[in-house]
Amino acid sequence: MNEQQPVVPPASEDAGETPPAPGRRHVLKALALGVPGALAVSATPAMAQGSASPPQTPAAAPAPLRFFNAQEAALMDAIASRLIPADELGPGAKEAGVTFFLDGQLAGAWGAGDHLYRQGPFQAGTPEQGYQLSFTPAEMYRRGLAAFDDAVRKKEGKPYDQLAPDVQDAWLASMQKGELDFDPLPAEVFFQALLEGTMEGFFSDPLYGGNKDMVGWKLVGFPGAYASFSNDIERHGVIWRGTPVSIAQARGHHPAPGGEMPHKRGGGHG
Amino acid sequence: MAKTMPAVDVAIIGAGWTGSIIGKEQAAAGQRVVVLERGEPRWPSPDFQGPNVHDELKYTRRHALHQNTASETFTFRNHDGQTALPMRRWQFAYPGTHLGGAGNHWSGAYYRFDPTDFNMRSHYTERYGARIFDKDLTCQDWPLSYDELEPYFDRFDYLIGASGQAGNIKGQKQEGGNPFEPWRSRPYPNPPMKVPYAPALFGEAARRLGYHPYVQPSALCTRPYVNTEGLQMSACVYCGFCSNFGCEHYAKASPQVCVLPVALKMPNFELRTGAHVLRVELTQDKKRARGVTYVDGAGTEVFQPAEVVVLCAFGINNVRLLLLSGIGEPYDPQRDTGVVGRNYTHQTTSGVNLFFDESFNINPFMGAGAVAVTMDDFSADNFDHGPLGFVGGGYLQIQVVSGAPIGYHPVPKGSAAWGSAWKQAVKRYYNHSASITITGSAQPTRGSYLSLDPTYRDAWGLPLLRVTYDLPDNDIRMSAFLTERGDEIGRAMKGVQRTEPGPRKRPFTAAAYQSTHLTGGAAMGADPRTSVVNRYGQTWDVPNVFVTGAALFPQNSGYNPTGTVGATTYWIVEKIKSDYLKSPGPLVT
């Protein structure tokens, strides 16, 4: 039942194309114009000195970040690289732009706790009562990254992003188990926030700056904002071989940087 | 000093299913109606149009259509001996807000309660003896029967364009339908939904084991349909973005698709959004409501005078409004007195995770909120409870709700949570997993109830609703039994290499999603000592205040609530129209 011909999804002649990589000229234009969506597809945030990978951008270039400073971004990149590494299965969280994603989220309403009940008194509850800390996501990331950076530098004598991958993993595992002291922030709570944020950035629509080139969706085979499976849902066991579609692609009327004609992209939407 | 609006006949709190239906019906009967909705007006077009609506981060993770916990949440504790603490963010349920409420962001799973749900206490006592009930259970009979409600179930079926294959029309079993289905007067208005792969595999195994699987009834339309209000619905396209989303296709039934466009054409019907009701205002003797006070978008208090007030907020938020307004005596579990907040229940859910051979491509994203194969062999009293020693039951099914991968990327227990090993596991299992969902009844106990929190307040300075709840032993035994049956079916399914049964355990946790079916607290009953409202939803203490929705349930069924919410709403409003308007006063004495 799995050996049948692949289902050709409707509109796949358009959806199946790989989006052209934006040219260098477009990137520079986008930077100058401050188009946030355009940055996510063309740059990585790790611009700090001493990053594990050589910086792609001259250090003098302004980091297009709203929440993280350059040091935090480098640390976040290094953490994301271990939580979801680039490997033989494809790009990882760093390549997916998870740091960009988190930067946007933490700079925005969610980071400020727009849906977080923040009235006191704050007190430790039972596990069944759920999250009871006063930290907003932004406050937690700021404090947690600083505490982690501090702990690593004290013990290792160098920043996290310069450690060997297995040593990096051991540090994350310690944080996950709550063995590190980030008082008053429980290290294991911060680890979960990092992991959840990384998953969100890896799997959410590229609209938010992560999941660049839909690498998260391609890893698992999720079609994205694809609109209809009426014709496929009863073809049991037949793998879907279309190319995922993001909201921006399906929309089809985003002007390209530089004022060219919009990309023609199908997503099953009229 | 609050601003005062021109008086109306009926003030309705909340524009979800119940408020929209009551409002439209009352307006059609010539009443001047205002519906006060705290949220924003949101419509299929332009608000829910694709591709933008297909945004898991916005709608599921960031709660775009859920009550905002920053301004109003619940506090929670397992028992009276603990201090309740606020749910600082949603985990256990997703109460709705904005136009349509939870009736907009729901999944569309569509059932009627079983006849035995309505005579829970007397039915089980008659068949098994009174000892079948644990001493702590406070379940009780409804003051009305399934047979009385059937015409109103039928009416709601045809309002929402329900899809399904009838199993029992006026007592005649129907080929291909659910043999346990309670009788219905007509077929479903639309045929059943398409069946994806995993539910088909479930159905095949269940049938082989001697069970009776069928396609779950659904509030997602399966073909173009003009409903009983003359409104057009379209066929579901199985995009997989139903639960927590608004439907772009006018396929998922919602108040804004099925009722409100008609109501809004009536000159005596007004929908006022951004109107957050604080309380019902009573006369000095507390025997009559004068109207309601709400806060408008600018934060100004506004008094809306009304002859009748109908509480149509999200389920248990109606209980909070009663408590904040001083309507009815608050329940006291120590002395076992009072009624408001009594018989709160949730839904006893559990599941069995299934991991398939790699040659079985499940395609979890080809689905819809209510696409499932279900079996009722262990629902309600469809099986012999005698040797089992518990009351209630639940349905087993595989549904394919969503493959959106932030929330759905299953890996077997013991897999790495991160790193390359996790990546391998998630790639291996994403398209080769499913889960059997078990939706079970929930029995109320003396110690599980709703009350006002003594410490924590909402953005307007009013006490939050406090939920005190743990699972009764009865429901733990039921969950263990149902989950074992699910595991047997899972192991019998083709392609399944591994099953992970997860029966519900104590203590109940508010830190994990359970269900949005929060019920009870304003029980409908025949006795004012054990109920808040009479059989017409009218409060015993203040006859011009009516309550609708799941708060009326004396206990929760194993079936999803919306069908019964819709039926009871029509039942209530018809009585208001036929009797109350002619002679305002208590409908039951």
Q: Is B384 in the same domain as B427? A: yes
Highest mean pLDDT among A1-10, A51-60, A181-190: A181-190
Residue B409, chain A, CB below 8 Å: the answer is: yes
Q: Is B402 in the same domain as B523? A: no
- Predicted confidence (pLDDT) at residue B560 exceeds the cutoff of 50: yes
pLDDT band at A64 (very low <50, low <70, confident <90, very high): confident
Amino acid identity for residue A89 in this structure:
L
Residue B525 CA: distances (Å) to CA of B530, B540, B557: 7, 10, 16
Q: Is B392 in the same domain as B497? A: yes
Q: Is B294 in the same domain as B309? A: yes
Asked if the structure places residue B447 within a domain, the reply is no
The string of pLDDT tens digits covering residues B456-478 is 999 999 999 999 999 999 999 99
pLDDT band at A253 (very low <50, low <70, confident <90, very high): very low
Residue B105, chain A, CB below 8 Å: the answer is: no
- Provide CB contacts within 8 A for B578, sequence distance 6+: none
Q: Is omega for the bond preceding A62 within 30 degrees of 0, making it cis? A: no
- Predicted confidence (pLDDT) at residue B96 exceeds the cutoff of 70: yes
The string of pLDDT tens digits covering residues B8-40 is 999 999 999 999 999 999 999 999 999 999 999
- Predicted confidence (pLDDT) at residue A199 exceeds the cutoff of 70: yes
* Mean confidence (pLDDT) of chain A: 78
- Predicted confidence (pLDDT) at residue A36 exceeds the cutoff of 60: no
**Partner residue facing A116 (CB), from B57, B88, B240:** B88
pLDDT band at B1 (very low <50, low <70, confident <90, very high): low
The burial of B570, by beta-carbon neighbours within 10 Å (0-12 exposed, 13-18 middle, 19 or more buried), is given as: buried
- pLDDT for the residue numbered B37: 98
- pLDDT for the residue numbered B279: 98
Return d(Cα B125, Cα B445) in angstroms, integer.
17
Range A102-117 average pLDDT: 97
Closest by CA position to B526, among listed B148, B73, B89, B31:
B148
- pLDDT for the residue numbered A263: 34
- Predicted confidence (pLDDT) at residue A57 exceeds the cutoff of 50: no
- pLDDT for the residue numbered A227: 77
- pLDDT for the residue numbered B329: 98
> What's the first-to-final CA gap in chain B, in angstroms?
38
> What's the first-to-final CA gap in chain A, in angstroms?
33
Instruction: Say which residue, A34 or A236, is predicted with more confidence.
Output: A236
- Predicted confidence (pLDDT) at residue B571 exceeds the cutoff of 70: yes
Q: Using the beta-carbon criterion (under 8 Å), do B511 and A128 form an inter-chain contact?
A: yes
Q: Is B357 in the same domain as B390? A: yes
The string of pLDDT tens digits covering residues B53-83 is 999 999 999 999 999 999 999 999 999 999 9
Which ranges constitute the DSSP H helices of B341-413?
none
Q: Is B527 in the same domain as B547? A: yes
Residue B419, chain A, CB below 8 Å: the answer is: yes
Q: Is B270 in the same domain as B384? A: no
Q: Which residue has the tokens 């087993």?
A: B396
Query: Domain boundary at B487, B507, B527, which?
Result: B507
Between CA B489 and CA B483, with CA B183 as vertex, the angle to 5 degrees is 20
Q: Is B281 in the same domain as B138? A: yes
Looking at chain A, which residue has its C-alpha nearest residue B425?
A220
The residue ranges of every structural domain in chain A are 19-116+130-210
- pLDDT for the residue numbered A264: 33
Looking at chain A, which residue has its C-alpha nearest residue B420?
A85
- pLDDT for the residue numbered A7: 35
Residue A47 CA: distances (Å) to CA of A79, A85, A120: 15, 19, 39
Return d(Cα B16, Cα A16) in angstroms, integer.
40
Residue A82 CA: distances (Å) to CA of A13, A47, A128: 36, 18, 30
- pLDDT for the residue numbered A251: 60
The string of pLDDT tens digits covering residues B280-290 is 999 999 999 99
CATH of the domain at B250: 3.50.50.60
Range B386-393 average pLDDT: 97
Return d(Cα B557, Cα A225) in angstroms, integer.
35
- Predicted confidence (pLDDT) at residue A252 exceeds the cutoff of 70: no
Asked if the structure places residue B54 within a domain, the reply is no
Q: Is B415 in the same domain as B543? A: no
- pLDDT for the residue numbered A262: 32
Three-state DSSP class for A72? helix
Range A113-122 average pLDDT: 97
Q: Using the beta-carbon criterion (under 8 Å), do A172 and B418 form an inter-chain contact?
A: yes
Percentage of chain A lying above the pLDDT 70 cut: 69
Which domain does B384 fall in, by range? 195-216+348-440+473-507
Asked if the structure places residue B364 within a domain, the reply is yes
- B126 to chain A, closest Cα gap in Å: 38
Return d(Cα A164, Cα B65) in angstroms, integer.
44
The string of pLDDT tens digits covering residues A155-179 is 999 999 999 999 999 999 999 999 9
* Mean confidence (pLDDT) of chain B: 97
The burial of B59, by beta-carbon neighbours within 10 Å (0-12 exposed, 13-18 middle, 19 or more buried), is given as: buried
Q: Using the beta-carbon criterion (under 8 Å), do A267 and B457 form an inter-chain contact?
A: no
**What H or E segment, with its residue span, contains residue B301?**
strand B301-311
Which ranges constitute the DSSP H helices of B430-466?
none
- Cβ pair B557, B325 in contact under 8 A: no
- Predicted confidence (pLDDT) at residue A4 exceeds the cutoff of 90: no
Q: Is B105 in the same domain as B10? A: yes
Between CA A114 and CA A122, with CA A118 as vertex, the angle to 5 degrees is 155
Instruction: Say which residue, B441 or A29, is predicted with more confidence.
Output: B441
Asked if the structure places residue B463 within a domain, the reply is no
- Using a CB-CB cut-off of 8 Å, the residues of chain A touching B235 are 230
Asked if the structure places residue B178 within a domain, the reply is no
Return d(Cα B213, Cα B5) in angstroms, integer.
54
Q: Is B541 in the same domain as B560? A: yes
Asked if the structure places residue B478 within a domain, the reply is yes
Asked if the structure places residue B513 within a domain, the reply is no
Query: Domain boundary at B507, B527, B558, which?
Result: B507
Closest by CA position to B286, among listed B510, B545, B37:
B545
Query: Domain boundary at B485, B507, B529, which?
Result: B507
- pLDDT for the residue numbered A226: 83
- Cβ pair B31, B331 in contact under 8 A: no
Q: Is B420 in the same domain as B487? A: yes
Three-state DSSP class for B519? strand
- pLDDT for the residue numbered A47: 37
**Partner residue facing A129 (CB), from B196, B426, B510:** B510
pLDDT band at A242 (very low <50, low <70, confident <90, very high): confident
ipTM of the predicted structure?
A: 0.96
Asked if the structure places residue B175 within a domain, the reply is no
pLDDT band at A250 (very low <50, low <70, confident <90, very high): confident
Q: How many domains does chain B have?
A: 2
Give catalytic residue positions of B. Answer: 517
- pLDDT for the residue numbered A38: 31
